[in-house]
Chain A
């Protein structure tokens, strides 16, 4: 089972334009900030929002293609959707919710209920079958929503922020159980989320969606090691600089110069926050090839570490110990010098 999608949707001034393919047995996470078009993408795949151009093909069956006037409405697509906030029907029991899809497809009442009961057992909720959604905990509601989506035996399972509606204390447990249940489903699985932890925990491959475009795709290790956008770099917690290298000097888009050990050409440079040292004056004996001055911005404390923003022509975040922070006596707005060895910069072609 596979998904091949090229989706262009225009909503007012926003345009979503992405190409995606998900291979059999794969879980793809579309990761992006709010407003990046994640929900629009999901609605387009589900058929709730028709695409303006492109195509949506599942297992060789064309579901949406404006060029050939093909449009299969959501109720006739082989899909299951787990919505944000679960959207369980409040006037039905958990069992009736799970049976809904089968009933809608014309399965008899008794058969639908017994199949639904089997699905509730599979997600470990056989004992809450008669409860109404409002009586369920967030984690239980999430599993009922999953069972409801899977009960119709979809070829494509779509999950929209599946864990966002849960509070922090239950999220970890639910994430683990969701991971287990997802692994038993052999169709195409695609989830959209703004939470990198969910993406890492649940997906094999991630696609970064920003401003309606896919900025980067790859395995999680790949994307983490070689971020190609500031959004990803911030998710990973590192500094990303884009520029052009000429004769061992990288000139950023803002005009800052950084000495690097890299071939000439346009590159991304990753600067680990731990590799940057801060000082009040310039140390004449340092071997660091890059020394520049800046102004202290935000300071975040993380245990015995402090992440110090340094604003200037090359804005970066440096990570130092809180002991060093106290010794330097840094406060937002202070002048500071930052130093960095050229060999601590990882570069790769842009």
Chain B
């Protein structure tokens, strides 16, 4: 209430933060900033290009980019319909199904990897038939990496898109149907564009999660250079053999993540602004 007194108001609009809140917020910022400072401090700037040029690093980077993008595409292709189902179709047990589909978001990734191993591994409950009938073997292959990454990253897309579908004004879909749009046409031309900002945000979150995926990948797909050794796996391994390499790969991942977040930021925020106007 003191802020309403004229004497305080003339000092300007800025309200002083309560000191303990300010102090704790500063600690939080430092907590996020200091690891990067440590990383940059120890980085072998002189041999940076040499390390980046190493075949093993380039292979891991290339594998990580391919698998994380594939996982993101799969998450979009299957996750958008799943989000639509959860948001729009009332059916018995819907909240149980939603909980099941979002479980891997809160599960320890290693547990997810173990579950995938016993289900889709070569001796797994379903994996043995994949192998016998179709000759598909997921463990120790690049597709195993993609499956593990999709498993842990799709919930981020689903939860984001589902919220947007629930919030959207469904009368636009009604309008499109009275104009002659079939359900599929309306979904493509009206529903998806209406949730596009959320779709992009969800895809970025899912991609970031896939790029950083470690536990499920190493458990389910293994750690083979060139086929399943992604950047996070390479970093962890390098920390024991060649710490400089670990530092460089870490910086590389930070740079890639940063570049994508910043590159998408304008379009992403621009889209949000357009939708609210």
Which A residues are within 8 Å of any B CB, using their own CB? Answer: 43, 46-48, 73-77, 79-81, 83, 85, 87, 89-91, 100-101, 103-105, 134, 148-149, 152
Contacts and interface: CB of A to CB of B under 8 A. Distances in A.
Nearest to A73: B177
A75 B180 contact: yes
Q: How large is the interface on B (under 10, 10 to 19, 20 to 34, 35 or more residues)?
A: 20 to 34
Interface in B179-197: 179-182, 185, 189-190, 193-194, 196
Nearest to A84: B171
A105 B275 CA distance: 27
A100 B171 contact: no
B277 interface: yes
Contacts of A81: 175, 178
Interface centre among B169, B180, B185, B196 (most CB of A within 10 A): B180
A46 B178 contact: yes
Interface in B26-61: none
28 contacts: A43-B174, A46-B174, A46-B178, A47-B178, A75-B178, A75-B180, A75-B182, A80-B178, A80-B179, A87-B171, A87-B172, A89-B175, A89-B176, A89-B189, A90-B274, A90-B275, A91-B274, A100-B176, A100-B189, A103-B189, A104-B179, A104-B180, A104-B181, A104-B182, A104-B185, A104-B189, A105-B180, A134-B277
Contacts of B193: 89, 91
B176 A104 contact: yes
Given A83-B171, A87-B172, A89-B172, A152 B179 contact: yes
Contact of B196 (A76, A77, A91): A91
Given A43-B174, A77-B178, 18 more contacts: A48-B178, A73-B177, A74-B177, A75-B177, A75-B181, A76-B180, A79-B178, A81-B175, A83-B171, A83-B174, A89-B175, A89-B176, A91-B194, A100-B179, A104-B182, A134-B277, A149-B178, A149-B179
Contacts of B180: 75-76, 101, 104-105, 152
B190 A89 contact: yes
B177 A87 contact: no
